């Protein structure tokens, strides 16, 4: 739902901070606070994206390692079934 409104010039604004907390700030203070929060959120996003990329890499490494272990086990079972003594490698 959208609405049009005409607001008179004001010297302060109320910001909803969450947890049922609303504070009144001057326009300058509110702008500074919102810009700082925006910068902090962007920095946090960059860190989270880097962490996610690291986790993706680790998942890929884990999947390849599991495949190697599985293939090694299949190879060892085939050797045992053939009756050839297994060598340590």
Q: What is the pLDDT of residues 6-26, one digit of tens each?
A: 888 889 989 998 899 999 999
What percentage of the chain reaches a pLDDT higher than 90?
72
pLDDT value at residue 89: 55
Residue 33 CA neighbour count, 13 Å, CB half:
13
Dihedral angle computed from the Cα positions of residues 20, 21, 27 and 28, in that order, rounded to the nearest 10 degrees: -130
pLDDT at 86 over 60: no
Calpha distance 71→48 (Å, rounded): 35
Residue 75's pLDDT band (boundaries 50, 70, 90)?
A: very high
Residue 76 neighbours by CB under 8 Å, 6+ apart: 86
């Amino acid at each position: 739902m959208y609405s049009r409104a005409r607001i008179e010039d004001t010297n302060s604004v109320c910001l909803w901070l969450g947890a049922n907390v609303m504070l009144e700030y001057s326009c300058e203070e509110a702008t500074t606070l919102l810009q700082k929060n925006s910068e902090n959120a962007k920095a946090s996003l960059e860190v989270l994206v880097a962490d996610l990329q690291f986790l993706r890499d680790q998942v890929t490494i884990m999947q390849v390692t599991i495949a190697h272990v599985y293939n090694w086990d299949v190879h060892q079972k085939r050797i045992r079934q053939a009756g050839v003594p297994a060598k340590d490698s």
